[in-house]
Amino acid sequence: MATLRIHRFVEGRKWVQDYKVEVTKGMTVLEALISIKEHQDPSLSFTCSCRSSICGACAVRVNGNAELSCEKLVSDLIARYQTEILTIEPLGNFRVIRDLIVDWDPKYARIKKVKPVVHPKDEFSAEDGCRQSPADFDKYKKYAGCILCGSCVSECNKNTLNQKDFLDPFAFVKAERITADSRDKDTEEHLKAVLDTGLWRCFNCQECTAKCPKHLDPAGAIEKLKAATFKYHLDDNVGARHAKAIYDDIQESGTLDESKLNIKSEGFFLAGLRAPMALRLMRVGKMNPLESHPVNPEVKTVAAIVKAAEKEEE
């Protein structure tokens, strides 16, 4: 027997309601929800469709983690959390409509900001189509597997802090899928769009990748987009300069010179606005701008590791 502790929301009223469910072999969280709706409480509301981990409609949070309810076994979750009480909530970072149903309309509208449509190169035609080699297809086919379940958004710490200046992780996945497509002629246009929608504001917390049920690595897609902006010389921004400053420090000395990082990233004027913080750091011994930056004795090894990583990425 398991207890599903479900967060309810109806017409502005919130409460938590417990339901007892007899756990049968192979029972998924979605089946448990359906059983409650059919036999205990017909007012319970949630969404589902394919029941095959394809449509993404049934995603919810279980004990604080986004899951596809149609693929997670109740028995497995009980074993994982060592409790027979499973707390079921709607996805995070969405407006809740009712119970476990969230509003997707604003999210769909935000996808348009990255212009997620292939603009065929001039060499293609309606008669001959847009031919592509298997190797070129392999560069983005993984990201084409996004099912828009919302799990990445639910666990995105940047979205939790502020959604206004940062798109949802799945939108960046869509953008990477387009920019990596060899048939598209407007890669730079797509990259400019993601820069305008907060590409460099990602916290790199990896929660989107950890929670993606299709293992698509949204955080990796964001990093690929960042790398592409350097290739197209779209690096005149604080985020890109910050990344380059770190790269240069690691290459030259094998360590990070944090005392000069802000100046390299933001310039003298904006860095100067942080003077009160710098003084506090100096007082507690966290920073000494007069101290020479040490060189790591293993700097050659560090540089070799960087080069090996770059080669592997290529």
Tell me how far the alpha carbon of residue 118 is from its chain's centroid: 22
Domain 136-232 in the same topology as domain 2-101: no
Instruction: Specify the pLDDT at position 25.
Output: 95
CB 224 within 8 A of CB 180: yes
Dump strand ranges (E) for 42-187.
Answer: 59-62, 65-68, 85-89, 96-98, 101-102
Looking at the structure, give the CATH architecture of the domain made up of residues 136-232: Orthogonal Bundle (1.10)
Residue ranges covered by each domain of the chain: 2-101, 136-232, 238-313
Distances (CA, A) of 79 to 25, 31, 274: 14, 18, 49
Q: What is the CATH number of domain 2-101?
A: 3.10.20.30
Dump strand ranges (E) for 39-157.
Answer: 59-62, 65-68, 85-89, 96-98, 101-102
The candidate with the shortest Cα–Cα distance to 163, out of 211, 203, 190, 198, is 198
* Contacts of residue 56, Cβ cutoff 8 Å, sequence gap at least 6: 68, 147, 148, 149, 150
Check: pTM over 0.85? Answer yes or no.
Answer: yes
Q: Is the dihedral of CA 209, 212, 217, 222 positive or negative?
A: negative
Q: Which amino acid is at 20?
A: K
Q: What is the mean pLDDT of each run of 10 residues along the chain (314 residues)?
A: 97 97 96 97 97 95 97 97 98 97 94 90 89 92 94 96 94 95 93 94 95 95 95 93 89 81 79 79 76 81 84 73
Structure tokens at 186: 């407007």
Instruction: Specify the pLDDT at position 314.
Output: 67
Instruction: Specify the pLDDT at position 281.
Output: 79
